[in-house]
Amino acid sequence: MKTKTLLFLVLSLAMVSTSCGDSHVDEPHAHNHEEVITTVALTFSGEGDDIKGAFRDADGDGGDEPTTDAITLPADTTLTLDIELLNELVDQMDEEYEIGKEIAEEAEEHQIFFSGTIFDGGVTHAYADKESDYTTNNVGDDLPVGLKSTIVTTGAGSGTLIVTLKHQPPVNDTETKTATSTINDGDSDIEVTFNVTVE
């Protein structure tokens, strides 16, 4: 009888130990890994031909230096800016290739911020999208995302355009992305600086 009881206790402890060891696999934050982004492609569209510029880090962190295109925009023009975020370390058919899709799916936890000296004069930025453009179950404030923007140029000039993707998931059941959150809230998935000339 003692042998059976001892065997039962050993098996029970083994089962408890196994379930505890596996419990971390399904933790809520497990899917919120940092996105791998090798390419940030900008497309400015208006009345004329599209204007494109991109940051590319073809081999990811380390290795060859990334490249960043200079961008020239026409003065006195209203342009739509679309941003494409890619992970070109994987095949184009891989679900992790188009990071922009993941940003759209998790719109309530992401925002792209725009800063730089180009906005000191002659250029303005306004968000042209919001969370409900990408999600059907949007709750709370319908905040900007930044995959689409409106850029207005006036006089000639030059400066930097800094594009920063922030991941802003809730912390301890408190929203990080709010109507008053800023570029200082959350974690930066990528930050890229473009040199822009308006002429």
11 sits in which H/E element: helix 2-22
Residue 168 CA to residue 164 CA, distance in Å, equals 12
Residue 70 CA to residue 132 CA, distance in Å, equals 33
DSSP assignment, residue 177? Answer: S
Q: Residue 41: what residue type?
A: A
Domain boundaries, the chain: 34-198
pTM of the model: 0.80
CATH class belonging to 34-198:
mainly beta
pLDDT at residue number 14: 40
Q: How many Cβ atoms sit within 10 Å of the Cβ of residue 144? A: 20
Task: Going residue by residue through the chain, which has 199 residues, state the pLDDT in tens, using 9 for 90 and above.
Answer: 444 444 343 434 343 333 344 333 333 333 345 678 999 999 999 988 999 999 999 887 777 899 999 999 999 999 999 999 999 998 888 888 899 999 999 999 999 999 999 999 889 999 999 999 998 877 678 999 999 999 999 989 999 999 999 999 999 989 999 999 999 999 999 999 999 999 9
Q: What share of the chain is helix, strand, coil (3-state, %, to 5)?
A: 25, 35, 40
